[in-house]
Amino acid sequence: MLSNEYKNLSPDLACKPEQILKGAMQVFLQHGYAGTSMDRVAAKAGVSKHTIYNHFQGKQGLFIALIERLVLRNFHNEFGCELPLTDPASQVLRRFAQLILAKTDDPEYIAFVRLLFAESGRFPELAKLYYQEVIQAGHQFLSDYFKTHSEFHLTDPEMTARIFIGSLITYVFSQEVLHGKSIESIPKDQLINALIDLILSQRSGDLE
């Protein structure tokens, strides 16, 4: 990772990889992998091509470092840090869903997802990293939450967690990545409310 790779560099040199990655992100998201050249990245980052090659050895190394940076900075341990688990179940589930769907408001994130999936065949390890840090981490967090809260009365907490998250991921792809919202727009709150009702309907007594 960047932090280990560059931690022994002087401050002047250590800022170069960050500067290059910021410029590279704009170029990759705008032009895709095939349309990105080191000339474009160098111009956007304000460095020489030689400097880029010194740090990343070329376009492939630069792309890998960039995707790792975006995934780990944006998603690593996100769920556990953001959710107050002592709140009522409906609030925890709502906040969990909002954490995932809030990113659909960020055009840069949607462009990043399109780029990652377009290149998943070329860079399968990066696709796996995204799966592990986002989808699998979400599955694990929600499954553990269901298992430790017996009031849900779920026969299969793990599969229920997958259904809940799968619905949210499908929303992101169908509405944003595939431009589905221009064909049939689905309000986020409508989906969230339906999912929460589905889960809480398994409980006995007061649903709230």
50-98 pLDDT per residue, tens: 999 999 999 999 999 999 988 887 776 666 666 677 888 999 999 999 9
State whether 187 and 90 are in the same domain: yes
Asked whether the beta carbons of 135 and 163 are under 8 A apart, the reply is: no
State whether 12 and 83 are in the same domain: no
Residue 133 lies in a domain: yes
Mean pLDDT of 100-124: 91
Residue 123 lies in a domain: yes
What pLDDT shows up at residue 11? Answer: 41
What pLDDT shows up at residue 150? Answer: 79
State whether 125 and 178 are in the same domain: yes
Q: Where does the pLDDT of residue 2 fall: very low under 50, low under 70, confident under 90, or very high at 90 and above?
A: very low
Whether residue 208 has pLDDT greater than 50: no
What pLDDT shows up at residue 115? Answer: 93
State whether 31 and 107 are in the same domain: no
Residue 52 lies in a domain: yes
Last residue of a domain, one of 65, 88, 107: 65
State whether 80 and 53 are in the same domain: no
Whether residue 137 has pLDDT greater than 80: yes
Mean pLDDT of 104-131: 92
Residue 60 lies in a domain: yes
3-state DSSP: the chain helix, strand, coil percent, rounded to 5? Answer: 75, 0, 25
At 84 the three-state DSSP class reads coil
State whether 99 and 13 are in the same domain: no
State whether 143 and 170 are in the same domain: yes
Rounded CA-CA distance 27/25 in Å is: 5
- What amino acid is encoded at 111 in this protein? A
Residue 70 lies in a domain: no
State whether 147 and 48 are in the same domain: no
State whether 195 and 98 are in the same domain: yes
Question: What percent of the chain clears pLDDT 70, i.e. is strictly above it?
Answer: 86
Whether residue 159 has pLDDT greater than 90: yes
Average pLDDT taken over every residue of the chain: 86
Q: pTM of the full predicted structure?
A: 0.77
State whether 91 and 131 are in the same domain: yes
* Domain span including residue 49: 2-65
Residue 206 lies in a domain: no
State whether 59 and 135 are in the same domain: no
What's the CATH code of the domain at 43?
1.10.10.60
- Domain tally for the chain? 2
Task: Classify the C-alpha dihedral 118-119-124-128 as positive or negative.
Answer: negative
Residue 207 lies in a domain: no
State whether 84 and 56 are in the same domain: no
Rounded CA-CA distance 5/44 in Å is: 23
Last residue of a domain, one of 16, 37, 65: 65
